[in-house]
Amino acid sequence: MMRTKLLKVYNALGIFKYSSNPQTTGFAPNIRNDKSSMVRPEPCDPKTVVSNAEDANYEEWLTDHPSALTSFEEMMCTAKGKKIVVFLDYDGTLSPIVDNPDLAFMPDMMRSAVREVAGNFPTAIISGRSRNKVHEFVQLNDVYYAGSHGMDIIAPPRRPKSSDSKYSTLTVDKKGNEVIIFQPAQEFLPETLEIYNELEEETKVIEGVTVEDNRFCISVHFRRAREEDYPLVEQKVMSILAKHSRFHLNRGRKVFEIRPSIKWNKGNALEYLLETLGFAESSDVLPIYIGDDRTDEDAFKVIQKRGQGFSILVSLKPKETRASYSLRDPSEVLTFLLRLAKWRRNSSSSKPAT
């Protein structure tokens, strides 16, 4: 029933989740080829039964985590008169999840949408990737970037707390504006590089494994490896981790991440950016955070604790989450961002002239 309602909304708005021309949006169309579309499974096909069960579970999950598209008008009623700040994850949120992490390119339509949102609201991208890598993918200078799960942040040049000052460096961005580079894990850099080199050496014999240097954390991707090699990948990662007591392991979707053991995550990054943007003590700020991974739960937790803001999980399947709302995939993220920018334009144009 929920899916039928969604389709009605899309039809009414002239919005479709997938384009028939993937070059237009950068997202693959959700269609089968002519030959496969001719084949219909029998009603007793186990695959059909599993699919129906999954759909039912998802529909039930949506009652607690409703679509941010169908709930958009309700959300924006709450947002009236508030200062909106937008926070976005990258992989799986602004770009599709791909086998090769170096090819997780951002579609041009998504880039345009983020640019438009950033023109209307303070906007930051918080990713597990290195800050420079995310900037290369996004190619926008009007947003703030937090890489390495928030351990490498470029932020407005506000006076940092005394406890933060030793991790902060004042510099100038590409537009000539003063910014702060905040890196609370600076002391771990030499050992992080050492771990990267060890992982490169140990995993090079396993086909399909990629080790990514995210500056303040290291990601071992094994999405392209053979399934029977997964235990070997884990064994090698754990053996190296055992030699570095100041680091710990985080697990993602077919990726192992080794990070410094400091109390800092995407939730801390969100709070830091709100503070440097001047909203830390504001009672009328409304942060919106969109992410798809378990690492985004730390940011969802912060929004939940603040009691104001919208947390949105991107997922095709039911998941345990602190997020209040959901979107199915990056194509729905695109639709949401476009509607958010349009809402601001309409809100601004409806204000009486002064």
Question: 194-219 pLDDT, tens per residue?
Answer: 999 999 999 999 999 999 999 999 99
Contact assessment for residue 90 and residue 131, using Cβ atoms and an 8 Å cutoff: no
pLDDT score for 51: 62
pLDDT tens digits, 314-351? 999 999 999 999 999 999 999 999 999 999 998 876 65
Domains and their CATH numbers in the chain: 72-184+263-348 (3.40.50.1000), 187-260 (3.30.70.1020)
Instruction: Kindly list the distances between the CA atom of residue 260 and the CA atoms of 216, 226, 246, 249, in Å, as whole numbers in the listed order.
Output: 7, 29, 6, 9
pLDDT score for 12: 40
Q: The whole model's pTM is what?
A: 0.81
Least confident of 21-25, 88-92, 297-301: 21-25
Mean pLDDT of 87-101: 93
Per the model's pLDDT, the better-predicted residue between 178 and 106 turns out to be 106
Contact assessment for residue 259 and residue 216, using Cβ atoms and an 8 Å cutoff: yes
| 354 pLDDT more than 60 | no
**pLDDT, the chain, mean:** 85
Per the model's pLDDT, the better-predicted residue between 307 and 351 turns out to be 307
pLDDT score for 29: 40
Contact assessment for residue 174 and residue 185, using Cβ atoms and an 8 Å cutoff: no
pLDDT tens digits, 243-279? 999 999 999 889 999 999 999 999 999 999 999 998 8
Contact assessment for residue 79 and residue 303, using Cβ atoms and an 8 Å cutoff: no
What band does 163 get if pLDDT is binned at 50, 70 and 90?
low
What band does 168 get if pLDDT is binned at 50, 70 and 90?
confident
What band does 157 get if pLDDT is binned at 50, 70 and 90?
confident
Long-range CB contact pairs, 310-317, < 8 A, 24+? 310/68, 310/75, 310/286, 312/68, 312/288, 312/336, 313/65, 314/89, 314/92, 314/93, 314/290, 316/58, 317/54, 317/58
What band does 301 get if pLDDT is binned at 50, 70 and 90?
very high
What band does 40 get if pLDDT is binned at 50, 70 and 90?
very low
- Please tell me the number of Cα atoms within 13 Å of 147 on its side-chain side: 21
Determine the Cα–Cα distance for residues 61 and 82; give it in Å rounded to an integer.
29
Tokens of 63: 């009652």
Task: Tell me the percentage of the chain whose pLDDT exceeds 90.
Answer: 68
| 32 pLDDT more than 50 | no
pLDDT tens digits, 110-153? 999 999 999 999 999 999 999 999 999 999 999 999 999 999 99
Closest CA relative to residue 279, chosen from 252, 314, 295, 303: 303
Mean pLDDT of 233-238: 97
Contact assessment for residue 20 and residue 29, using Cβ atoms and an 8 Å cutoff: yes
Determine the Cα–Cα distance for residues 149 and 266; give it in Å rounded to an integer.
5
Per the model's pLDDT, the better-predicted residue between 93 and 171 turns out to be 93
Determine the Cα–Cα distance for residues 143 and 339; give it in Å rounded to an integer.
19
pLDDT score for 253: 85
Per the model's pLDDT, the better-predicted residue between 325 and 13 turns out to be 325
| 160 pLDDT more than 70 | no
